[in-house]
Structures are given as C-alpha cells and as structure tokens.
Structure 1
Amino acid sequence: MTFTRYAIYYAPPAEAAWSRFAASWLGWDMEAGLDLSHPQVHGLDVAAITDVPRKYGLHATLKPPMRLAEGQTRSALEDACAALAATQKPVTLDGLQLARLGRFLALRPAGDETALMALAAACVTELDPFRAPASEAALERRRGAGLNPEQEANLSRWGYPYVLGQFRFHITLTGKLPKLQLPAVQDALNTHLLPLLPAPFAIRDLALMGEAPDGRFHLIHRYALSG
C-alpha cells in the first residue's frame, strides 16, 4: 500500500478487551485495515460522535503525521524506528482515565508521566530528519488556533505546536461535541469502557503508521521498546 504521510503512535494492544471496545467505538481497526460496527448505545449516534477521529484509529500520537523529506524512504524510516525503539525502555503508568479535553473526550494517563514525556520527545526529535518541512499554508492554519510562545517555537522547529513541553498524551475517543451532549457521552463511556481500562497501563512498543490516500491510518509495524 502507498502512504502519503507517516506517524509514530502508541497503538493499544489489539487483543485487550478495552482496546477492542474502544476500536469498535471509533469504527476503524487500523491493524486489520477494516471498518468495525459501532456499539449500540441508547440515545447516542456513536458514528456521528466519532466521525472526526475515526480515520486515525485508536491511538495516542507520539510523532505527528509527516510527509517524508526529500531523499528519505519508508525503508529508512522503518530502520530508524527499530533503532530508536531499541534504545527506549517500556513505560508503565498507574492506569488510564477518561478526561474532557476542551469539548472532546479522551483517555489520559494516571501517574508520573516523566518517562512517557521523554519517550514522546525522543520520537519527535530523533525521527525529525524524516519530516518534510510544513508548507506555509499549513503553518498558518496551526497559528489560527492561537499559540503561546512555546507552541509557536515548536511549530517553527518541529512542524507541530503540541510537542515536547506542550505534549499531552491522549487517546481520542470523540470529535468536538456540543457542551450539552458531553455528559451523556461521558456517562456511556464510564459505563462501557471505564471498567475495562488497564491498571497499571504499559506502553511496550512504538507503532509506525501510514496514511492511505483516503485519509485512513494503517498500522505498518510495531517496534518493541527494548532499551
């Protein structure tokens, strides 16, 4: 398959009960490359709620989507991901918790995030030679959200504002929701997903992802953290 962009994700283990439910909630299995049936939840249009994040799959971004720089290849990126993962240790946190981030819902880690922040920073910085510079139009779109000085510096240097000190690990579960709808969706996820969430929560590999021409992201390979 030909991919237009690549990204480094945390991709939850496909066999875990919590990730099976959450992937079906989103409606896309990025590991198998298949649409999934949404769970039936009374009073909620799950397909509409998850329309925006669906194409990305169940994930947390570590290195944001990027086009390959001139002269770089997918094969070289794969080799670099393997080399990076071999220098990094698995990360263990206390667990996952449902959180509101503005007007969307996501899973956030519980516990000390120091090692997690370091892992994400390594992905951003060590793999940056593979990133083609963002277009001026793309930079201006990012600036339209209103950036603080650190975010602006990140955007200029790394092509994305929310990295390094501005990074917040999150596994997105919805698009932006009307304020009045948030409580009902949160209640549904508390009922169906919360009891399945792992404690402790471990990150054992890096997932190299590719964006197909239709915008859907697919898992290319997992690289075990073995440092």
Structure 2
Amino acid sequence: MTPHRLALYWAPAEDDPLHAHGSAWLGRDAATGDALPQPVLEGIDLAQVTSDPRGYGLHATLKPPFRLRHGYAAARADVVALAARTAPFDLPPLAVHDLDGFLALRETAPCPALHAFADACVTALDDHRTPPDAAEVARRRPERMSPAQRAHLDRWGYPYVFEEWRFHVTLTRRLTTDEKAVLMPAVTAFLGDAPSRPRRVDAISLFVQPAPGAPFTIAERLPLRG
C-alpha cells in the first residue's frame, strides 16, 4: 500500500545513544512506533511542548514530506540509486541550539557534504512528488516568505531547501522566553554527550506517514554506497 506521504530524513542509527535519548525526550520511537516515557520537568508539560516533533519522529529533514505520484516502490528505487552514488561522510558534533524560538540539535561546524546530500535528496526524488494544492500552499503563509523561499515553494513544494536549508533535529515547539530558560538546560542535560559523539552519515532514512494525521515511522534505512 502506498503511504499517504514519504519523507527522506537523516536519523541516528537505532544503536546510537542519540536515538534512545532523543526518542525518549520526544516520547516516541519512530523505529518501532512505541510511545516512550518522557522526563518529568517541574512546571513544564513536556508532552505538549514536544507534540509536533513527536509526530514526525527524531530526524533532520533532507527532503520534506510529500505525497507520492508513482507509488512507494518507484520512489524507493530512486532512493536506492541516490544512495548508491553517495559516499558516507562524517557528521560534525551536534549541540542544542535556539533556532528561531524552538530548540533543535544543529551541527557545530560547517559540513559541505551534508548540504550537498540534502540538495541531492530534494532534486533526485522530485519527479515522485505530487505538487501541493492551493490550500497546502496557503497554509505555509507564502506572503511572509522571502522571494527566494516563495520561489522554492513554487518549484520544489517547500520553501526551506538549497541555500535556505538548515540541518536541525527538532526537539520542541516554539517556546516562550520562560520556557526556553527551563528547557534549554533540561534537554542539554538529558541528552548528555550523545549529540557530540562522533558519527557517520551512512544511510538515508525513509519515513512514511500511513494516513493523514498519523505519526511518521521509519520504513527503511538505505545505506550509502558511493
């Protein structure tokens, strides 16, 4: 059965401590679909604060979710081909950052290979993307976008690609100043040294949403073989 939407993400391997700690912070394991107990923070409803990223699973976006034009098998074949010509590379250490008001893990040093990887994911799978309808475009508030972002939305179905793309593993919704004062040290302590450990980007993770509104789960991790 073709899922409602497919996305190409980077996600830590299941034996990486970041997968366990990050999934527990969000309250769901995208590999198994299981709900997980979250840390208890005084004065903070962590389940509410993490509700949006929990539905997408612990990840960094390479190609954002899209509805399939030609079915899952055809899209998967092109991801396999992309993975076959892409060489694994080192990911810089990650750290918790304030990214436009929400907390996310970001790389601590430039990584041209990472940006090239994301660019390739956007272009290589674009023939499989059903363009967004007018309602989907309107929900993104294009009137608030820069000209470059609006052009990307029109051409690629998403405004934050290529020079507008930023690697990030989302950990919260947008926060108030008071919430951030509590949550920044809390998530940094909870994740410990897991984000900063050495790791390789050696796979593309295919996340699927089986039905509208359903959480995303990891369907496959396709190894990079270039």
The TM-score bracket by the shorter chain reads over 0.9
Q: Is the 8 A contact 2:10 2:204 kept in 1?
A: yes
Residue in 2 aligned with 1:192? 190
Q: Is the 8 A contact 2:44 2:179 kept in 1?
A: no
Residues 5-50 of structure 1: CA deviation (Å, up to 9, x unaligned) = 1100111111222220110110111111211111233443221211
Residues 111-132 of structure 1: CA deviation (Å, up to 9, x unaligned) = 2221101000000001000000
Within 5 Å, give how 1:72-221 maps onto structure 2: 72-144=70-142, 146-213=144-211, 214-221=213-220
Residue in 1 aligned with 2:47? 47
* SS state at 2:132 partner: coil
User: What is the letter of the counterpart of residue 67 of structure 1?
Assistant: R
* SS state at 2:140 partner: helix
User: What is the letter of the counterpart of residue 99 of structure 1?
Assistant: H
- Indicate how the Cα distance of structure 1 residues 189 and 5 shifts in structure 2: closer, same or farther if over 3 A, else same: same
Instruction: Name the CA distance, whole Å, in 2 between partners of 1:145 and 1:201.
Output: 39
Instruction: Name the CA distance, whole Å, in 1 between partners of 2:96 and 2:196.
Output: 12
Instruction: Name the CA distance, whole Å, in 2 between partners of 1:140 and 1:42.
Output: 38
User: What is the letter of the counterpart of residue 177 of structure 2?
Assistant: K
Residue in 2 aligned with 1:64? 64
Q: TM-score, normalised by structure 2?
A: 0.94
Residues 175-216 of structure 1: CA deviation (Å, up to 9, x unaligned) = 111221101100101212142223334211001111022420
Q: Is the 8 A contact 1:93 1:111 kept in 2?
A: no
Aligned-pair distance for 1:145?
Answer: 6.3
Instruction: Name the CA distance, whole Å, in 2 between partners of 1:145 and 1:27.
Output: 34
Residues 69-114 of structure 1: CA deviation (Å, up to 9, x unaligned) = 2xx0111111111111111111213300110011110000122221
Number of residue pairs the alignment of both structures matches: 225
Q: TM-score, normalised by structure 1?
A: 0.94
Root mean square deviation of aligned Cα: 1.5
Q: Which moved more, 1:217-226 or 1:190-199?
A: 190-199
User: What is the letter of the counterpart of residue 58 of structure 2?
Assistant: L
Runs (4 or more) in structure 1 with deviation over 4 Å come to none
